[in-house]
Structure 1
Amino acid sequence: MQNALETSYDVVIVGGAIYGSALAWWLTNTPGFDGEVLVVERDPTYEFASTSHTNSCIRQQFSAPVNIQISQFGAEFIRNFRHFMHDDPEVPDLALQSFGYLYLADTPEFAQTLREAQSIQASMGAHTQHMTKDEIAARYPFYMLDDVIAGNHNTVNEGYFDGGTMFDWFKRMARRRGVTFIHDEVTGMTLNPAGSAVDAVTLKSGAKVSCGTVVNASGPRAAATAQMAGITLPVVPRKRYTFIFDAAEPLEMDLPLTIDPSGVHMRQEGKYYMAGCPPEDDYDAAYDDFTFDHSIWEEKVWPIIATRVPTFERVKVINEWVGHYAFNTVDQNAIVGRHDKVENFVFMNGFSGHGLQQAPAIGRGTAELITHGAYRTLDLTPLDYGRITRSEKFIEKAVI
């Protein structure tokens, strides 16, 4: 049942998937915030949301310090999920299955990039190891490594977690703490005469709601939401394919989330395995385009995984889907913070596949920004929208 809609809210969040719900929950848990929050979600089934198509993994293997810190807090949040939810006995514990990420390098240049990233990660407390081909072969003898020079691997606080449960409890607890969630769609925004703030949002139902702050948490549709406020946002939907497969000869140990130099990745998925990749032609998709290209498995994914793990010569696909990345075309990293001119317009956009693992830290930081006007725990300003207007890329070398 929806709460009754008021005519004014302190914060209106456009989009109720992982980011809208995470921010709503964090706002109710941020000391000093006592405002009213509205979350507007166009499809409460979340059938096509990026959140529903996620692979639910987390890693510390980034090259930019702030991305490492974001994921370190994400791992802390997952490990202590019930505690963060005020030790509510109804809240389940979240397990983090730390089979880790394994990046494989097939060129001296890529090997050096991994070595430099490992140095940064280790300096920040991550347990990433830079491994030679022989060390990888000794630990994981099932790989074919003829073309591999080196790799990076970390089995501490890296791997799979139940992102669906985290999302569900963000939403549940935000509702319990007074946040209003409605099934509707923002179709327009009214700016003040100076163009320096959004005064109100118009809903598809015909209602008009005044707002103190409006937050863009609309995933792959973020550019359309920003355009309502006259803002250009370089975020587009890009298709990403996932395949669940059974192996006739299962491996005798867990398969790390292996990032092949080709761009194909694969990992353990219970008693099965998961693989995924971008298409060869990585074009901008329409918001409602979820057509599946079945040739990708036969022509790209299966040849790669069967070569890298010869045991996977005999496998059977048992499930497959396509979802959308909210892809930042400038630098494939998150865009967060306030707009430089429309000052009450806040971004939580462009996560380019990193969204679920970054939601705890970005949700907390955005709640701090709205409440206090500044970040209090982790400085997220390197991801600020201002870099887009300045045409400055945020460099992250470890993008999948």
Structure 2
Amino acid sequence: MKRLILILFVVSIVNSFAQTKLDYGIQFYHGTWKEACDKAKAENKLIFVDFYTQWCGPCLNMAENVFILPFIGDFYNTNFVNMKIDAENGEGVELAKRYGVNSYPTYVFVDPKNGDVVHQSKSRQEAEQFLATGKSALVPELRSGYLIEEFAKGRDDREFLKNYIHYNASIYERENVQKAFDMLIKKEAKLTDSDVWDIFKANIRGTDNPYFQELVKNYDVFVKALGKEVVDNKLYMETRNISLEELNRLPEFKGKSLNKYLVQINALVRDKKYDETDALIRATMADTSINQQDFIEQLRFIVRGSYWSPETPVEWLGRCVSYLQYIAYNSDDRQDPYIHQEYAALLERLIRLTPGAEKVFPKSIMEKPEFGAKEYSMRPKNLAQKPMRKKK
């Protein structure tokens, strides 16, 4: 009897877990568009639509990493009738055309009573941003249509401009962000104001703008107002791709030494001066005064951008393998599989290009796999290839 009770208890736990597994995250309605409209009207809700395609990487990323989160599901399931619509199949083709969808993912919030869009957003978003996107759909003053119309009328009060900037930043409309930020400053907002600084830090990129020049010119003032760490981090992030001469003219901020290394390394790679590049990379690896984890992140981009060409010399590929080995061995991010996939893929490529390797290494390494996938890749199996555009 005790054994039977134990078995029933275990089964109940498993069933409970399975039910929880099914219930967390956004619950998408699978009826027709008309049925969804009827359901939303009956529940007095908006319809949230995720327009996606089967080949869209950011769409899959959102589905696997954001839509499944319990707090995202709680909010969206409470406030909307949710639909996932493939923009290239079924009634999704006509609906995507109706709502002007031309990039993916696109998020559309529709009033079911008249079929009008009340709020729209797009692109891959972090969970907190995606939650903010949904919350904005419920507040008339934060909806995309309202913000766009009011801005076109010339509205320029501080809170409105901040809302307009945040919305455009979420959909990567950088020109709109820049235009509104210029207006914000003209309304006597100061760059040292914490709310204005947060917008500047997150959205105004590069060094070729008057705000960055103001920061450099009045470095001590900004440090006093905002703190050295905050100011130095902005300088560090914006000066990775400028010339060495420009960098040397800037104040001494934390991270400047690493950026000087990176600027020189990138220049040497572009000029294909591989011996000098190798010497400088190894000197940077040995420099314990810089943030090695930041260097590892940047070195990944440098290596990835320099070895992909079939014309890359085998000698340079060998050096790139050693850099990727250093990254794989030393990166603190143990959850990132791409670090190890990149190392293994380039090592395999180098082996195949080495004369006489077929006498040393197994046939399985020298040739493509006999069965299954032929390419070593982190690309998800359920992500289709993007269709080629037809020539007109």
- TM-score bracket for this pair, using the shorter chain length: under 0.3
Structure 1 or 2: more helix by fraction: 2
The structure showing larger relative contact order (alpha-carbon pairs under 8 Å, at least 6 residues apart) is 1
TM-score by length of 2: 0.20
Q: Which structure has the greater CA radius of gyration?
A: 2
